[in-house]
Chain A
Amino acid sequence: MKRVLVFLLVCLAAPAAAQTGLPPAPYADRQLDDPQQEAAARDLMEELRCLKCQSQSIADSNAPMAGDMRSQVRERIAAGETPEEVRSWLIERYGNWVSYDPPISSAVTWPLWIAPIILLLAALWLARGRFRKYRGEQ
């Protein structure tokens, strides 16, 4: 009984702070029928940045614009575009900023990729020095 009541309540609930009176875009919250395409779309959505709430991916965000972006991603993938084509379509409009998987191409992005490797190498080198020292003391 309680469960049914809760379920009914959930059905009645309206989004409290909706910015617009319009329903979301067709594929904002609806999965594609083809599970493979849906999986590809889903993976891409995790790697695209929401324009409104900039620390979230569009998969995570409830902003209406993120919903519109999800719908675009799904529609484009359903129409046969590859995830990388959809990503570059967005990068063309918003810059590398919009992707959570930035390319190594530009001077701004290569330190992102190289810095962890440099830190790891430095750590190894430091550790090596320490081990040597201890061995010397024994």
Chain B
Amino acid sequence: MNRWLLWLPLALFGLLFATFATGLILPKDNIIESKMVGKPMPDFALPAAIEQRPGLSSADLAKGKPTLLNIFASWCLPCIAEAPQLLALQQAGVEINAIASRDTPEDIANFLNRWGNPYARIGTDTTSKVQLELGSSGVPETFVIDGNGIIVHQHIGDIRQEDVDMLLKLLEDAE
């Protein structure tokens, strides 16, 4: 048998070792990005989540002005963390609409009373139907939508302080 074949098992071992080592060393990336970025908003119409705000339909997201669509839930902790940033964005003049994921009207009202309500419209998505249409896989998530209803950007996870400027820039570019 060829001499070099003797080294084959060792080479295979090295390959396997490298594979597993990189798997262990690299941080686990669980983020699933939506493939809907760049595509028009899917058609939907959701009933109002609370009395004080109207429900949300896809037509509300294509009115000529770029908007943010925030997916949140009262049972979601990071949603509390991003509440001040959403309020800051609203004060900067951004129209923010929301989809409440798997939630009850009372819980949503309590959540908004406690942490502030930056939303113009809130639709309630009790069976994640619209969330699945959007390719969204959790809360909180925020979509930047241009005036024609095209999804420009998906922000996965809570909006941190340092993300606010980036989102404002994206909204400006979407004009």
Contacts and interface: CB of A to CB of B under 8 A. Distances in A.
Interface stretch (B47-55, B130-138, B159-167): B130-138
B107 A68 contact: no
A93 B36 contact: yes
A71 B34 contact: no
A66 B134 CA distance: 16
B24 interface: no
Per DSSP, chain A at the interface is helix
Interface in A19-60: 19-22, 25-26, 51-52, 54
B102 interface: yes
B27 to A, nearest CB: 15
B35 A95 contact: yes
A22 B103 contact: yes
Contacts of B133: 93
Interface string B86-105: 00000000000000001110
A66 to B, nearest CB: 10
Contacts of A26: 127
Contacts, number: 64
B25 interface: no
B26 interface: no
B129 A21 contact: no
Nearest to A95: B35
Given A20-B73, A22-B104, A133-B1, A97 B32 contact: yes
A26 B107 CA distance: 21
A116 to B, nearest CB: 15
Most interface-central of A19, A21, A22, A98 (chain B CB within 10 A): A22
B148 interface: no
Nearest to A27: B127
Contacts of A51: 32, 137-138
B109 to A, nearest CB: 13
B137 A69 contact: no
Nearest to A122: B8
Contact of A64 (B102, B107, B134, B137): B102
Contact of A65 (B1, B103, B134, B137): B137
Nearest to B28: A54
B13 interface: no
Contacts of A25: 126-128
B39 to A, nearest CB: 9
A68 B132 contact: yes
Interface of B: 1, 30, 32-36, 73, 75, 102-104, 107, 126-129, 131-135, 137-138
15 contacts: A19-B102, A20-B103, A21-B107, A51-B32, A51-B137, A51-B138, A54-B30, A65-B138, A68-B102, A69-B132, A90-B132, A93-B133, A94-B135, A98-B32, A133-B1
